[in-house]
Amino acid sequence: MTESRLTRRMAIGLMAAASTVYATHAWAGGHGIDLSGKTVEWVIPFSETGGSAKWANFYAPLLSEALPGKPTVVVKFMPGAGSTKGANWFQDQAYEDSEGTLIFGSSGSTQFPYLLSDPRVRYEYNDWNVVLASGTGGVAYLPPDLAEKMNGMDASALRETDFIYGSQGATRLDLVPLLAWEMLGLKVEPVFGIKGRGDGRLMFERGEANIDYQTSSSYLKGVTPLVEAGTAVPMMTWGALDADGNIIRDPTFPDIPTFKEICEATEGCETSGERWDAWKAFFVAGFPAQKMVFLPAGASQDAIATYTKAFEAIKARDDFSEISAGRLGVYPQMTGDKAKGALQSATNVPDAAKSFVVNWLKDRYGVSLN
């Protein structure tokens, strides 16, 4: 971490501590903000085809109904540089200019360049104000003819295949599947430069790629029909975490084995050591709090409390569990202190894991982050 970033984090931490009493007051009985007659712009730094789009489009009408004044909530897509373009833009926005009408949706592919100190990153998560953190999962899948080569959970026979994968970039959330497939000994050649994971699914559908993965929301809506039609077969999920931090089956896809199970069943793949530790660290950073909603720097405590209360009201709906399960999957939707804790987990990884991934990216893909 650079000295300037560390200094900024310390200053922000002091300001956050100083404002705790006021934030509590705003939540309990503050004036809040009135958004009557206004339009809230929700910026998503990806294309309209991926999981972030489906997540935002699910929440947008519910948020409109829950916010005071029932403003129109419009999802705006700003893809580019694997989401770095949109995140850098949001960093430059000031709350005073929007007065609560601008929010930003981050994803794991926004978090990873930040974690890896990518020189293109000009954004600082600790400047932003988190009001929702959504957990998610991920599912890798294959064409039926290749899925048939697997011997139960043993993926060894797939090592003969030359795979093509549509990727947003090796420093994005895609590093989780790319590293997992390499650990299994698969020959996966990424085609970098797609603007969203939905574009990777379209490559798979067109026969331009023969392996893919989607986050849960995108898998549920975009890939489940392919599975039902017999043109795609799930290979594995990344899993979920239990209370002790162990990887268990994804509650949204309990019948699909995890990468950990596939790895344990495949000769030469190890679930211990520095490679496994690095994979798990970035999985933890990228999925249990994979998508987050932020207000920009300088947001008032009334605005933060207003949005937090709105998302709490959405979660408290009698039908929320039912409608969210089919669109988002079965994962925690966190607000308040839990959202802040999720943000900390998502934007910090052990130094050893970061060092391993930085060296792996340079050796495997020629990506230098120094």
Predicted confidence (pLDDT) per residue in 257-278, tens digit:
999 999 999 999 999 999 999 9
Higher pLDDT, 304 or 195: 304
pLDDT band per the 50, 70, 90 thresholds, residue 97: confident
Q: Which amino acid is at 1?
A: M
> Residue 13 burial by CB count (10 A; 0-12/13-18/19+): exposed, middle or buried?
exposed
- The rounded distance, in Å, linking the Cα atoms of 28 and 239 is 37
Over range 115-134, report the average pLDDT. 95
**Structure-token pair, residue 102:** 């601008």
Residue given tokens 């419009």 in the structure block: 74
- The rounded distance, in Å, linking the Cα atoms of 219 and 19 is 40
CA dihedral 105, 111, 117, 120 (to 10 degrees): -40
CATH of domain 3-135+287-351: 3.40.190.150
Over range 35-53, report the average pLDDT. 93
Q: Give 166-186 pLDDT, tens digit per residue.
A: 998 999 999 999 999 999 999
Residue 76's DSSP bridge partners are 43
Residue ranges per domain, the chain?
A: 3-135+287-351, 138-285
Helix (H, G, I), strand (E, B) or coil at 104: strand
Asked whether the domain spanning 138-285 has the same topology as the one spanning 3-135+287-351, the reply is: yes
Contact 188, 211 (CB under 8 A): yes
Q: 4-13, 131-140, 250-259, 325-334: which has the minimum mean pLDDT?
A: 4-13
A 10 A CB-CB count for 293 gives: 25
Rounded to the nearest 5 percent, the helix, strand and coil shares of the chain are 50, 15, 35
Task: Annotate 15-62 with DSSP letters as a single string.
Answer: HHHHTHHHHHHHHHH------TT-EEEEEESS-TTSHHHHHHHHHHHH
Contact 233, 157 (CB under 8 A): no
> Residue 12 burial by CB count (10 A; 0-12/13-18/19+): exposed, middle or buried?
middle
What is 138-285's CATH topology?
A: D-Maltodextrin-Binding Protein; domain 2 (3.40.190)
pLDDT value for 31? 66
pLDDT value for 7? 38
Residue given tokens 């007051």 in the structure block: 25
pLDDT band per the 50, 70, 90 thresholds, residue 195: confident
Task: Annotate 176-221 with DSSP letters as a single string.
Answer: HHHHHHHHTT-EEEEEE--SSHHHHHHHHHTTS-S-EEEEHHHIII
Contacts of 120 (CB under 8 A, 6+ apart): 81, 84, 88, 113
- At residue 319, does pLDDT exceed 50? yes
pLDDT value for 49? 83
- The rounded distance, in Å, linking the Cα atoms of 298 and 93 is 10
Q: 45-49, 57-61, 124-128, 334-338: which has the minimum mean pLDDT?
A: 45-49
Give how far the C-alpha of residue 93 lies from the chain's centroid of Cα atoms, to the nearest Å. 22
Contact 68, 33 (CB under 8 A): yes
Q: Which amino acid is at 173?
A: L
CA-CA distances (angstroms) from residue 147 to 144, 152, 231?
A: 5, 10, 11
Over range 313-328, report the average pLDDT. 95
